[in-house]
Amino acid sequence: VASLLLGCMFSCQKSDEEPTAAEPIGTYVFKGEECPVHSAIYASNNVSLMIRISPLLKPIEEQTTYAIIGINTALEGETIDVGNAWNNDDYYFRYEDPVYYYSVYRKLQSGTIRIERSGASKDTFDISVDVVLPDGTDFSFEYQGQIASATL
């Protein structure tokens, strides 16, 4: 699951080649700046549940800005305090854009992550992320609604 999502990318800046923007499905905050979310997918297995969001409308393989937020499926519906949780076991966070890169291998400083699914096909999400990245940068994302499953 992680390798599927790791190949995909996410930034607030739009390039000249970006298609005409549709209404965003939500927003995230990075470095105090509110950014639109134009694409979101999820993937899951018996161990992890990963959500990938991006402000870009390009096909996933062409996107240069993205965030991946994930949890261990055993913690679905729970509020995970990242200060007391295991990085890359209980939770997973990666952010990349043309200027900034936050590796999954660096523990977040503080904050919480909560992901819960509902609906018959488990594609309706209630997501709350409010974390401080390793260098003190803030990142937050709140979302309630459907997200498409990643096609394998």
Convert the pLDDT of each residue in 6-59 to its tens digit. 333 334 544 444 455 589 999 999 999 999 999 999 999 999 999 999 999 888
Residues 76 and 65: their CA atoms lie apart, in Å, by 26
pTM higher than 0.75, yes or no? yes
For residues 90-111, average pLDDT: 96
Q: What amino acid is encoded at 114 in this protein?
A: R
The reported pLDDT for the residue numbered 21 is 59
Is the distance from CB of 126 to CB of 78 less than 8 angstroms? no
The CA-based dihedral angle spanning residues 100, 131, 92, 10, taken in that order and rounded to the nearest 10 degrees: -40
**Residue 105 confidence (pLDDT) above 50:** yes
The reported pLDDT for the residue numbered 9 is 34
8: which 2 tokens?
Answer: 């995909």
Confidence bin at 150 (pLDDT 50/70/90): confident
User: HEC states along 22-51?
Assistant: CCCCEEEEECCEEEEECEEEEEECCCEEEE
The reported pLDDT for the residue numbered 143 is 97
19: which 2 tokens?
Answer: 């298609």
